[in-house]
């Protein structure tokens, strides 16, 4: 058995500022493993290799060695083609897929052991595997596993990386950290983005505002304090920004771990489900274990009282709109993107090709102008050849329109209000000069 490594015992080594944006060793490396797993799963490794110049050779070499005799049949690659999403076989990529998935489960297990306040101990599943029987215990019930070949897992300490796994992830981690293009894109995201935005009387966010079944705001513990509603968003965003901005190593580490929690935490506003059943989908046949229960928000948001409560929580009046995505709207099944009488607009129409088969469209565009709000649905775009030879261009259809009785003027917008404030400041400045309160400067 290779030497085993625990990333949390190595946190202190990553103290130089040029790597602080990635947070703690286990937190940021779990994020990296997840990014790579999704990229290889959907045949998009070229985005990492060609787009960002991140070399996948260390993972490929390790996977071919560690899983040489393993067909990795549970780790087929989902190719997105003109016909939709097909399951493809590629020996090397399937081995890479399994290798990085196992690494991800180990790193996530380390992270969850560090943060009991995440309330996700039930998602640590590697130590629940009975390697002799070939079963795994999930929520108190044993299930036979579809794959029991784990050459890098030590049953006595299943969450520690082998020495070779550690070496691979350290090379990949260094490549992510030193990628200037990725650094630039992350900084742009932090500069321009936020977990939510209040704009022109509308509330925009991805995912949901976590709610309990009774409609009250669901709370979560962040850095030892309990938050809910708008305060939860603010606390999580502040922690995430510290992963890049803070000069305090402990704050930076915690911020990186929170970034991982935002991806699949059971009270994360960006996720909105009780669990992410990635492990079960790979290894357990019983579909019941694959179920991911949505947060109560997605049911209660059809109630105007709930929508109004959320708008008020974020400082808006009840005439505003909630605009959010994350859960694709199945328009082909007759589902409407408008909820709660049009007060809530779901704008996730399946822009990703992997979702277009179930949504029936290729995404929405929401337009806001002086006349009001317009939601447009777009038909899938196959390829340039179809446009040239068959004249099949992108077809767009308006699916929802909310006109204003009176056209919205610039002065009615948030920018207009700021312009008015600046004008008033200038008027007061001129008046003060004329009265001699302030003098002329050279």
Cα gap 45→52, rounded to integer Å: 10
Average pLDDT over residues 90-116: 95
Which segments within 229-359 are labelled E, that is strand?
321-324, 338-339, 344-346
Whether pLDDT at 72 is above 70: yes
Whether pLDDT at 8 is above 50: no
DSSP 3: P
Cα gap 297→206, rounded to integer Å: 13
pLDDT tens-place string over residues 114-146: 999 999 999 999 999 999 999 999 999 999 999
Cα dihedral 113/119/123/128 (nearest 10): 70
Whether pLDDT at 269 is above 90: yes
Backbone angles phi, psi at 376, to 5 degrees: -120, 130
The beta-carbon contacts of 161-164 under 8 Å, at least 24 apart in sequence, are 161/4, 161/5, 161/6, 161/7, 161/103, 161/106, 161/107, 162/1, 162/2, 162/3, 162/4, 162/5, 163/2, 163/3, 163/4, 163/5, 164/2, 164/62, 164/65, 164/66
At 17, list the tokens. Answer: 């500022």
Q: What per-residue confidence (pLDDT) applies to 413?
A: 87
At 419, list the tokens. Answer: 């312009």
Q: What per-residue confidence (pLDDT) applies to 136?
A: 98
Q: What per-residue confidence (pLDDT) applies to 24?
A: 46
pLDDT tens-place string over residues 252-265: 888 889 999 999 99
Q: What per-residue confidence (pLDDT) applies to 335?
A: 75
Q: What per-residue confidence (pLDDT) applies to 25?
A: 61
Whether pLDDT at 152 is above 50: yes
* Top-confidence range, 285-289, 344-348, 373-377: 285-289
Whether pLDDT at 250 is above 80: yes
- Give the Cα-Cα-Cα angle 44, 48, 53 (nearest 5 degrees): 145
* Top-confidence range, 46-60, 68-82, 86-100: 46-60
Are the CB atoms for 211 and 269 separated by under 8 Å? Answer: no
161 beta partners: 5
Instruction: Band the pLDDT of 158: cuts 50, 70, 90.
Output: very high
DSSP 50: I
Q: What per-residue confidence (pLDDT) applies to 20?
A: 32
Instruction: Band the pLDDT of 332: cuts 50, 70, 90.
Output: low
Least confident of 49-63, 75-89, 357-371, 414-428: 75-89
How far is residue 91 CA from its own chain's centroid?
Answer: 29
Cα gap 215→377, rounded to integer Å: 31
């Amino acid at each position: 058995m290779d030497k085993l490594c625990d990333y949390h015992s190595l946190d202190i080594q990553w103290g130089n500022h040029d790597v602080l944006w990635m947070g703690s060793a286990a937190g940021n490396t779990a994020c990296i493993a997840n990014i790579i797993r999704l990229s290889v799963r959907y045949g998009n490794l070229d985005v990492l290799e060609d787009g960002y110049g991140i070399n996948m050779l260390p993972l490929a070499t390790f996977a071919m060695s560690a899983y040489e005799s393993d067909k990795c049949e549970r780790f087929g690659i989902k190719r997105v083609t003109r016909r939709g999403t097909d399951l493809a076989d590629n020996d090397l990529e399937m081995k890479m897929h399994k290798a990085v998935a196992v690494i991800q489960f180990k790193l996530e297990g380390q992270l969850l052991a560090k943060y009991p306040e995440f309330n996700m101990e039930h998602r640590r599943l590697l130590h629940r595997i009975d390697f002799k029987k070939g079963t795994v215990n999930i929520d108190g019930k044993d299930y036979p596993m579809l794959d029991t070949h784990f050459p890098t897992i030590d049953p006595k300490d299943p969450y520690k990386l082998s020495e070779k796994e550690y070496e691979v992830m350290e090379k990949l981690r260094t490549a992510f950290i030193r990628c200037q293009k990725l650094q630039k894109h992350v900084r742009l995201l932090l500069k321009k983005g936020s977990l939510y935005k209040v704009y022109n009387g509308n509330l925009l966010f991805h995912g949901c505002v976590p709610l309990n079944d009774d409609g009250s705001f669901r709370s979560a513990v962040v850095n030892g304090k309990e938050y809910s509603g708008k305060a939860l968003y603010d606390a999580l965003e502040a922690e995430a920004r510290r992963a890049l901005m803070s000069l305090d190593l402990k704050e930076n580490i915690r911020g990186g771990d929170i970034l991982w929690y935002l991806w699949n935490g059971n009270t994360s506003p960006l996720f909105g489900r009780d669990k992410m059943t990635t492990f079960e989908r790979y290894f357990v046949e019983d579909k019941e274990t694959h179920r991911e229960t949505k947060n109560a928000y997605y049911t209660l948001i059809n109630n105007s009282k709930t929508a109004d409560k959320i708008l008020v929580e974020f400082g808006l009046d009840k005439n505003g709109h909630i605009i959010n995505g994350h859960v694709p709207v199945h328009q082909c099944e007759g589902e409407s993107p408008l909820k709660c009488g049009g007060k809530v607009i779901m704008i996730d129409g399946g822009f990703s090709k992997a979702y277009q088969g179930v949504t029936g469209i290729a995404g929405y565009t929401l337009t806001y102008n002086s006349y009001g709000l317009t939601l447009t649905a777009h038909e899938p775009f196959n390829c340039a050849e179809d446009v040239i030879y068959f004249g099949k261009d992108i077809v767009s259809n308006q699916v929802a329109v909310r006109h204003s009785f009176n056209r919205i003027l610039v002065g009615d917008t948030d920018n207009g209000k700021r312009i008015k404030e600046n004008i008033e400041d200038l008027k007061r400045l001129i008046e003060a000069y004329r009265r001699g309160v302030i003098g002329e400067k050279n």
